[in-house]
Amino acid sequence: MALTFYWYPKCGTCRKAKKWLDEQQISYEDIHIVENPPSREKLEEIYKNSGLELKKFFNTSGQKYRELGLKDKVKTASEDELLDLLSTDGMLIKRPLTTDGAKVTVGFKEDEFEKVWK
């Protein structure tokens, strides 16, 4: 299955990840995470496939995260509440979010991309 690459064009990390994918000639569909955030159902599917903790999907350095005071809420909220919250605003999601339907990476670390997507 082709890669789906949720990204925010103004994000430097996203641009680095996109450049890496392009250099490796890996095909993907890029989706603007703010204009077209993944649905709650899609997020749940990605989360379940990732094997990661749900809190890893939050953009903890984002302004929106701080404005909403999510640091403490993320520790106590239920999985359903967190998925609902993530699906309301693409700026809350750590990016880029990359998946092929089975594997998932959150954020961009070149060595991790090398391992997972090459």
What angle, rounded to 10 degrees, do the helices at 40-50 and 79-88 form?
A: 120
User: What is the domain range of residue 65?
Assistant: 3-117
Cβ-proximal residues to 2 (8 Å cutoff; 6+ apart), any chain: 27, 28, 29, 100
Tell me the pLDDT of the chain averaged across its residues: 96
> pTM for the full model?
0.94
Rounded mean pLDDT, 43-59: 96
pLDDT band at 12 (very low <50, low <70, confident <90, very high): very high
Q: Per DSSP, which regions of 25-103 are E strands? A: 28-32, 97-99
Domain count for the chain, please give it.
Answer: 1
Tell me how far apart the alpha carbons of residues 24 and 33 are, in angstroms, rounded to a whole number. 22
pLDDT band at 1 (very low <50, low <70, confident <90, very high): low
Q: What percent of the chain has pLDDT over 90?
A: 97
The CATH number assigned to the domain holding 104 equals 3.40.30.10
